[in-house]
Structure 1
Amino acid sequence: MTTFDDREAAYEAQFVHAAEQEFMAQSARNKQIGYWAAAIMGQSPEEAVRYAKDIIRTDLEQGGQEAVIRKLVKDLGGLRDEARIRERMNDFLIEARAKARDGKIKTLL
């Protein structure tokens, strides 16, 4: 292998690692926003776990953050407005990225 090949492999590995961290951070954000919304809706702990999984599934199957926001706006039915939902999602993502960077996120649920 040449130095160029070594460098290319290192960049690819770095890119894959960053993509994995971002995926884990977004999933952790979705989990947290699901628990947050479940608490607002007065759900039991068991219901909250199911709801958080549903939020993660919505992100993966229906097109990302905007699909999650639409679901939360609908499910919360006016208990929180879209601006507040976006604000909390951003807060949770910042926290989750820091945890992912520090290796503190191990699983999605």
Structure 2
Amino acid sequence: MTIFDKREEGFENKFALDEEQKFKAEARRNRLLGLWVAEKLGISGDAANSYAREVVAAEFGEGHDANVVRKVMADLEAAGVAVTEEQLRAKMAELMAQAILQVKAGT
């Protein structure tokens, strides 16, 4: 194995690690978002955790964040809770920063 092969392998390993951490951070953000929305909906305990899992699952498939936004906005509107899409996206950005720190810390 040449030095270039080793270097390429190192870059590939770093890319894989970065992608894994990104995936974990997005899932963590969506869980935190689900708990935040559950609180707004008056849901607590096991039901809040269950709702948070639904929000995490909403990201899978095409659309990713768009699916999460659609699901959460529909749930909030159905419950008569006034949150704009801009407010929701701002909260998602705030929670993403928090999730990244948590994933890096290993919590």
Normalising by structure 2, we get a TM-score of 0.91
Aligned: 1:19 with 2:22: no
1:31 is displaced (CA, Å) by 0.1
1:69 is displaced (CA, Å) by 0.4
Quote the RMSD (CA, aligned, Å): 1.2
Normalising by structure 1, we get a TM-score of 0.89
Name 1:100's counterpart in structure 2.
Answer: 103
Q: How many residues matched? A: 104
Aligned: 1:72 with 2:75: no
Aligned: 1:83 with 2:63: no
1:62 is displaced (CA, Å) by 4.9
Name 1:107's counterpart in structure 2.
Answer: none
Provide the rounded CA distance (Å) in 2 between the counterparts of 1:103 and 1:49: 20
Q: 1:15-42: CA deviations, max 9, x gaps?
A: 0000000000000000000000000000
Provide the rounded CA distance (Å) in 2 between the counterparts of 1:102 and 1:70: 30
- Structure 2 unaligned residues grouped into runs of 5+: none
Larger RCO (CA within 8 A; separation ≥ 6) = 1
Provide the rounded CA distance (Å) in 2 between the counterparts of 1:44 and 1:98: 25
Q: Which amino acid aligns with 1:36?
A: W
Distance 1:34 1:62, change over 3 A: farther
Provide the rounded CA distance (Å) in 1 between the counterparts of 2:67 and 2:97: 19
> Identity of paired residues, percent?
33
Name 2:44's counterpart in structure 1.
Answer: 44
Secondary structure of 2:9's counterpart equals: helix
